[in-house]
């Protein structure tokens, strides 16, 4: 048996190969000890760890394990998922929207980290808690999907007020920039606030990715990371914004397991 583990800042992702099939599961990083106990029970398994919490997991598990660099693992796993889906461009940009967002140029099987932003999945949960008190990711995503952003976010069209803008009018001119125009009696719902939080994160990830892609001379951008799990709204914001800014967005099934799969593949 082979096991690849990507122990990230928020979630531990596990890819486990038994009899040719790969099974995947995840646990909160706060339960690192339980993952370490589980690893110890998998006698005879070859194990490779990656991610920011890999060293902590290794010391809790206390068994011999291999380690691999997170960025290499993520790109290796993502390339495999893409080729399994029948679509592997020679060269593409990989944006991992995890707790934070990390951006890589992948070409000829090698990766180079080209940037990142602290605006990521941790921002969704952090701002959700500050603005609404919600801390459960699935609840945040469900509520956000029912919200409307038009009273919170200022678009280019809002500023130009009917005049012809020099850039697409539906681009957001200022995330949360419309809030000050609200009458003091107007209340914003949790749904609307959370929709705007997802908008902020998705548009930031898409915008920095498209800029990075153009500086690398590529247009395909593969978005992975657990922030997209059951989160159609974030996916839609990222797709729409990437296209609006001239890039080609890609998603793969199981993209959040890229790092765990890449660790497994290195064994
Ligand atoms: P990093 O790579 O930045 O160290 P990570 O690998 O833990 O972090 P991911 O697992 O890719 O990051 O994504 C974490 C994000 O996924 C969270 O910030 C949150 O927005 C979202 N998420 C999805 N499912 C859950 C969940 N069950 N619990 C908490 N967050 C979740
Ligand atoms: Mg990660």
The one-character DSSP state at 130 is: H
H/E run at residue 92: strand 91-97
The CA distances from residue 261 to 25, 26, 119, 208, 221, in Å, are 11, 12, 25, 26, 19
Mean per-residue pLDDT over the chain, rounded: 96
> Residue 28's pLDDT band (boundaries 50, 70, 90)?
very high
Q: Look at residue 220 in the predicted model and tell me its pLDDT.
A: 96
Residue 159 pLDDT greater than 90, yes or no: yes
> Residue 126's pLDDT band (boundaries 50, 70, 90)?
very high
Q: Look at residue 70 in the predicted model and tell me its pLDDT.
A: 96
Determine the angle formed by the axes of helices 190-216 and 232-244, rounding to 10 degrees: 40
Residue 12 CA to ligand 1 center (angstroms) comes to 9
Q: Look at residue 218 in the predicted model and tell me its pLDDT.
A: 96
ipTM > 0.95 for the complex = yes
Q: Look at residue 109 in the predicted model and tell me its pLDDT.
A: 85
Q: Which of 144, 205, 152 is nearest to 178 (CA)?
A: 152
> Residue 21's pLDDT band (boundaries 50, 70, 90)?
very high
Q: Look at residue 88 in the predicted model and tell me its pLDDT.
A: 73
Average pLDDT score over residue span 137-165: 96
The ligand 1 atom at the shortest distance from the C-alpha of residue 97 is 11
C-alpha–C-alpha distance, residues 91 and 84, integer Å: 16
Q: Look at residue 87 in the predicted model and tell me its pLDDT.
A: 84
Residue 52 CA to ligand 2 center (angstroms) comes to 8
Mind listing the pLDDT tens digit for each residue in 71-123? 999 999 999 999 999 987 889 999 999 999 999 999 988 999 999 999 999 99
**Domains identified in the chain and CATH numbers:** 2-85+256-265 (3.30.420.40), 117-251 (3.30.420.40)
In a 13 Å sphere around the CA of 7, the CA atoms on its Cβ side amount to 26
Is the CB of 126 within 6 Å of ligand 1? no
Is the CB of 45 within 6 Å of ligand 1? no
Q: Which of 67, 19, 20, 12 is nearest to 38 (CA)?
A: 12
The ligand with the least distance to the CA atom of 29 is: 1
**Which residues are catalytic, by number?**
70
The ligand 1 atom at the shortest distance from the C-alpha of residue 101 is 3
Q: Look at residue 76 in the predicted model and tell me its pLDDT.
A: 96
pTM listed for this prediction: 0.97
Average pLDDT score over residue span 143-165: 95
Express as a percent the part of the chain with pLDDT over 90. 95
Average pLDDT score over residue span 191-203: 98
Q: Look at residue 162 in the predicted model and tell me its pLDDT.
A: 85
């Amino acid at each position: 048996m082979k096991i690849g583990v990507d122990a990230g800042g928020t979630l531990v992702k596990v890819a486990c190969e038994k009899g040719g099939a790969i099974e995947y599961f995840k646990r909160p990083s706060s339960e690192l000890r339980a993952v370490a106990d589980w690893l110890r029970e998998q006698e005879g398994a070859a194990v490779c760890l990656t991610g920011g919490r890999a060293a902590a997991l290794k010391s809790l598990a206390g068994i011999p394990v291999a380690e691999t660099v997170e960025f290499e693992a993520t790109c290796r796993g993502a390339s495999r998922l893409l080729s399994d889906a029948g679509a592997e461009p020679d060269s593409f940009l990989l944006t991992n929207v995890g707790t934070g967002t990390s951006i890589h140029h992948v070409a000829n099987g090698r990766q180079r980290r080209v940037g990142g932003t602290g605006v990521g999945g941790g921002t969704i949960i952090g701002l959700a808690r500050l603005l609404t008190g919600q801390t459960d990711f699935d609840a945040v995503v469900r509520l956000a999907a029912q919200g409307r952003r038009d009273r919170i976010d200022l678009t280019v069209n809002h500023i130009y007020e009917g005049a012809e803008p020099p850039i697409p009018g539906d681009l957001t001119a200022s995330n949360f920039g419309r809030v000050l125009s609200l009458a003091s009696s107007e209340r914003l719902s949790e749904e609307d606030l959370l929709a705007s939080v997802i908008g902020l994160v998705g548009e930031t990830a898409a915008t920095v990715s498209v800029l990075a892609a153009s500086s690398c001379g590529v247009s395909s951008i593969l978005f992975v990371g657990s922030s997209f799990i059951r989160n159609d709204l974030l996916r839609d914001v990222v797709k729409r914004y990437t296209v609006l800014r001239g890039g080609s967005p890609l998603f793969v099934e199981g993209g959040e397991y890229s790092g765990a799969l890449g660790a497994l593949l290195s064994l």
